[in-house]
Structure 1
Amino acid sequence: MKKLLICLLLLSATGASAQQDATIIKHDFETIVAYTHQKNMDKVIEMTYPQIFKIMPRAQMKAMANGALDGMGIKSIFEEVPLMLKLSPVKKLANASVCLGRYNQSMVLEFKNGALIDMITKTKMGDTKVEKIGSNKVRMKGTQYLLAIKDTYTNGTWKYLRYDDEDAATNAKILSKEILAAATQLKNGLYAK
């Protein structure tokens, strides 16, 4: 009887921990998306998985995010759309825990140079649809993915990394094979939902 009681207590503690992680991740996902829309790159970088900075230093990432489009004469405006956030279950691995989130995003790009519009509308961008909405504007609308990771690099806290197809090569350089395999499995599960 005593062993059964201990097992039940352990199971309920594990369930409570998983629920707590899911609540934290959901809140963080909504927060990081809001910071992105506000173009508050300092806050986004604070929430980013630290291993990415081995490939791209923080200052470079911030400069790229803030100036890449502006430097090409493109103004970006995030539209407020329902996130329709879907989270995978938290998956515990040998050396990490991961959770994948899928959400909707819509952004209008306004071009100073109209010649770039044709190039953008013809480029394939995974789950993102591009439509011309004016002589110098396009709307990019689609599904985005963020991977939540808790491991030794994050000091036991949740940190986040874009997990779209365009980021696959970068992610392969910084994530363990175990995390990559789990994230692929979680992404396939979210596609099925």
Structure 2
Amino acid sequence: MKKILFCLLILFAGGAVAQDAQIIKKDFEAIVAYTHQKNMDKVIDMTYPQIFKVMPKAQMKAMANGALDGMGIKTIFEEVPLMLKLSPVKKLKDATVCLGKYNQSLVLEFKNPSLVDMMAKTKMKDTRIEKLGANKLRMKGTQYLLAIKDKYTNNTWKYLRYDDEDAATNGKILSKEIITVATQLKTALTNLN
């Protein structure tokens, strides 16, 4: 009887992890689509709520919608295969996490061509920058998104960028345990190529 109960528990746990992976995959695709559509309300609804302690929702939305436009830069997301890869879902002491790696490509059109040269010289670890003309460049590369389910998300999946450029902000809002595991997951996904 104990063996049967143990087997049922293992099957249930495995089923829950598989279900989480399906939810995360669907959500990742949705959040990327909302980003491309510039539907910031939907993106914010899916964002890990602790980020709003560092950057209020209104500020995040204003930055996303107006920061580049205000500098005379138009953003065009290119449709490229996501090539989404998910890490295993990891249950931690106070949270469950999963890291996703995907491709992204966008074209920036500048009203001020002098900004093109400045941006073209910018070095980013996971992103290649290619000058397309006097007022255009392409940024193409790998992005990382961390799925988190914990007490702050009411045990539902919410998402947070986990690129190197976001490390300082993430360090302010994530527990050391989440950062340690997410970094390990990122290293494993990076080595998957």
1:171 correspondence with 2:173: no
Shift of 1:125: 1.4
Which residue is equivalent to 1:3?
2
1:114 correspondence with 2:113: yes
Q: Which runs of 5+ in 1 are unaligned?
A: none
Aligned pairs for 1:12-23 (under 5 A) are 12-23=11-22
For residues 61 and 152 of structure 1, the distance between their equivalents in structure 2, rounded to whole angstroms, comes to 22
Shift of 1:171: 0.1
Q: Secondary structure of 2:177's match?
A: helix
Q: Secondary structure of 1:101's match?
A: strand
1:39 correspondence with 2:47: no
Which residue is equivalent to 2:100?
101
Shift of 1:69: 0.2
Which residue is equivalent to 1:63?
62
Shift of 1:106: 0.2
Q: Secondary structure of 1:138's match?
A: strand
For residues 191 and 74 of structure 1, the distance between their equivalents in structure 2, rounded to whole angstroms, comes to 31
Q: Secondary structure of 2:155's match?
A: coil
1:124 correspondence with 2:123: yes
Q: Secondary structure of 2:166's match?
A: helix
Q: What CA deviation, in whole Å up to 9, does each residue of 1:39-74 have, x standing for no partner?
A: 000000000000000000000000000000000000
Q: Secondary structure of 1:69's match?
A: helix
1:146 correspondence with 2:145: yes
1:88 correspondence with 2:92: no
For residues 190 and 130 of structure 2, the distance between their equivalents in structure 1, rounded to whole angstroms, comes to 23
Deviates further, 118-127 or 33-42: 118-127
Q: Secondary structure of 1:22's match?
A: helix
Shift of 1:191: 1.1
Q: Secondary structure of 1:148's match?
A: strand
Q: What CA deviation, in whole Å up to 9, does each residue of 1:60-112 have, x standing for no partner?
A: 00000000000000000000000000000000000000000000000000000
For residues 127 and 121 of structure 1, the distance between their equivalents in structure 2, rounded to whole angstroms, comes to 14
For residues 192 and 145 of structure 1, the distance between their equivalents in structure 2, rounded to whole angstroms, comes to 14
Shift of 1:192: 1.6
Q: Secondary structure of 1:113's match?
A: coil
Shift of 1:135: 1.3
Q: Which runs of 5+ in 2 are unaligned?
A: none
CA root-mean-square deviation: 0.4
